[in-house]
A and B are shown apart, each in its own frame.
Chain A
């Protein structure tokens, strides 16, 4: 029996870039993208860049320090709403 050839072209892989980075692909599609990235240096660089860009922006906009006493103030408001 001949092996089933399952390889994405560059365009097929790049069409799935965002979904791949966001873990929104099916297992099969993710595997095919991974296979393509193993053999395609150029796409591998593009995927890495896009992933790093998202991580960089997330690193900047996440984890905002909470104002001191925020939960206490919220509790007071909730207690008032409970009255």
Chain B
């Protein structure tokens, strides 16, 4: 196959075709991962409007830097990294301090132990669901948000996207061991908060049962 010498016009046309293909490819890749990306954005931002703004900004930046994405690698992790970085930069620019919870370590198996101590039998059926059924999704989201930032970011990626530790590490730019310890500690802190949300319902539920 012979190649004619490239002209300026040819080069421009060629670049344009390549770029158009990349746009289409980009949109296809984005479409495949849109639900997860939007849910992560929503959980990070807390409102639908802010989530869409974040997603749009991430889409534009990722598209402009699409050359940095290696075809065939994990697009979702790459895109979520772009999205998470924009979120963190915006937050820092606004100098809004992330919500924090004083870090008082909870014990392992906190909810299990507390439920058992409170007289629940966390053995049969789906006791976790029974304990938390009256806690709203918004309350659960708030509980995750209120964790210190390094824990809440990892927790959102873990809960929303079920990513393996290695991918979370790639997105957050930290070692896998750091992700493991953040998730471990974050999970304990979260259990403490969830228990505080679940406990009042548990008490009112048992009173109601006694009255019946």
Contacts and interface: CB of A to CB of B under 8 A. Distances in A.
Q: A and B bound?
A: yes
Interface of A: 14, 17-19, 22-24, 45-46, 49-50, 52-58, 60-64, 66-67, 70-71, 73-75, 77-78, 81-82
Nearest to A80: B60
Given A58-B159, A64-B38, A75-B27, A53 B111 contact: yes
Interface stretch (B2-10, B83-91, B95-103, B126-134): B126-134
B108 interface: yes
A57 B55 CA distance: 23
B42 interface: yes
24 contacts: A14-B109, A18-B184, A45-B122, A49-B127, A53-B128, A54-B159, A56-B126, A56-B128, A56-B132, A57-B132, A57-B144, A57-B194, A60-B137, A61-B144, A61-B156, A63-B35, A66-B34, A71-B30, A73-B52, A74-B27, A77-B56, A78-B26, A78-B59, A81-B64
A11 B122 CA distance: 20
A22 B27 CA distance: 31
Contact of B126 (A18, A52, A60, A78): A52
B48 interface: yes
Say whether chain A's binding surface is mostly helix, strand, loop, or mixed.
Answer: helix
Contacts of B160: 58, 61-62
Nearest to B163: A22
B31 A71 contact: yes
Interface residues of B, number: 48
The 9 A-B pairs at the shortest CB distance, nearest first, are namely A52-B128, A53-B128, A64-B39, A60-B137, A81-B60, A49-B112, A45-B123, A56-B129, A49-B122
Contacts of A78: 23, 26-27, 59-60, 63
Contacts of B35: 63-64, 66
A71 B34 contact: yes
A70 B23 contact: no
A52 B55 CA distance: 31
